[in-house]
């Protein structure tokens, strides 16, 4: 996976809305970086800019020191877990998980698809649901599949936009723990967005606090806790 760096990135919508205002931070290879901030802070815009789904107005985005600021999304090779889950409802869980590997650009052999899907399903504890259609799942299971669909790939970075926010407190907590374990296991580089301070503290190696499109603070969970930046 890759080190991902933002240098002085600014994004303005409709000529007036400064969604990102000169933000800079680095997500190191194999690091779990949490971007923490209230609604409207610019979290989703940051992820979309990194994925190449949003053009930035100023600044640079680098993957392993290589400038990708104007590169197309496919060339950046990121895996996105969206804020709202977006499964193919009539596909079985297996086929939802296999989908990113079946892209004509990738040409992964069926055997390898099979083994990857089974491995990820096991990690996410959904092996017994592989033959269910996506519509035949609980919300928590759907969200596991959405995360699994990113994890079957080996991209430069996983971009996760509040993937647990629609779940109840208990499930959210257990999935946090599982996701953290999986990340350590895979040595994955993750940029994870949340507005939940507890979630940030339990999962992050580094936290970046985002407020009004600006990075207010960056540090380890302890450093952020000790400084008690309160925005909620």
Ligand X SMILES: Nc1ncnc2c1ncn2[C@@H]1O[C@H](COP(=O)(O)OP(=O)(O)OP(=O)(O)O)[C@@H](O)[C@H]1O
44 binds ligand X (CB under 6 A): yes
Query: Which residue, 10, 17, 36, is CA-closest to 217?
Result: 36
x/- map, 80-119, ligand X, by CB under 6 A: ---x------------------------------------
The DSSP 8-state label assigned to residue 2 in this structure reads -
Closest to ligand X by CB, 39 vs 72, is: 39
Closest to ligand X by CB, 43 vs 172, is: 43
User: Which of 43, 116, 129, 176 forms a contact with ligand X (CB under 6 A)?
Assistant: 43
Cα-based torsion angle of the residue sequence 3, 34, 89, 131 in order, rounded to the nearest 10 degrees: 80
81 binds, among ligand X, Mg ion, none (CB under 5 to 8 A by kind): none
**C-beta of residue 31 within 8 angstroms of C-beta of residue 189:** yes
206 binds, among Mg ion, ligand X, none (CB under 5 to 8 A by kind): none
Determine the interface stretch with ligand X among 26-34, 41-49, 56-64, 171-179 (rule: CB under 6 A). 41-49
Q: How far is the CB of 83 from ligand X (least distance, A)?
A: 6
Q: How many CB atoms lie within 10 A of CB 108?
A: 16
143 binds Mg ion (CB under 5 A): no
Compute how many residues bind Mg ion; rule: CB under 5 A: 2
Instruction: Tell me the backbone φ, ψ of residue 147, rounded to 5 degrees.
Output: -70, -40
* Kind plus residue range of the DSSP H or E element containing 141: helix 139-151
- φ/ψ region of 15 (left if φ > 0, alpha if ψ in -120 to 50, else beta) reads left
* Kind plus residue range of the DSSP H or E element containing 182: helix 169-186
Residues 20-49 that bind Mg ion (CB under 5 A): 43-44
Q: In the complex, which residues of this chain contact ligand X (CB under 6 A)?
A: 13-14, 17, 19, 37, 39-45, 83, 195
């Amino acid at each position: 996976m890759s080190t991902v760096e933002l240098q002085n990135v600014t994004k303005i919508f409709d000529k007036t809305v400064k969604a990102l205002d000169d933000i800079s931070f680095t997500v190191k290879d194999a690091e779990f970086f949490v971007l923490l901030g209230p609604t409207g802070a610019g979290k989703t815009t940051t992820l979309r800019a990194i994925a190449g789904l949003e053009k930035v107005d100023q600044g640079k985005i680098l993957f392993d020191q290589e400038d990708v600021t104007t590169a197309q999304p496919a060339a950046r090779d990121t895996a996105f877990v969206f804020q709202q889950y977006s499964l193919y409802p009539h596909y079985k869980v297996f086929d939802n998980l296999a989908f990113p590997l079946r892209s004509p650009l990738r040409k992964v052999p069926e055997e390898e698809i099979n083994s990857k899907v089974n491995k990820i399903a096991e990690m996410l504890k959904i092996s017994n649901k592989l033959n269910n259609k996506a519509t035949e799942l609980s919300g928590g299971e759907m969200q596991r599949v959405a995360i699994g669909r990113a994890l079957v790939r080996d991209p430069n970075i996983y971009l996760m936009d509040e993937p647990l926010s629609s779940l109840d407190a208990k499930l959210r907590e257990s999935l946090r723990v599982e996701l953290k374990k999986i990340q350590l296991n895979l040595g994955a580089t993750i940029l994870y967005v949340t507005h939940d301070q507890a979630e940030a503290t339990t999962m992050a190696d580094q936290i970046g606090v985002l407020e009004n499109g600006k990075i207010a603070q960056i540090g380890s969970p302890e450093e952020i806790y000790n400084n008690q930046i309160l925005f909620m």
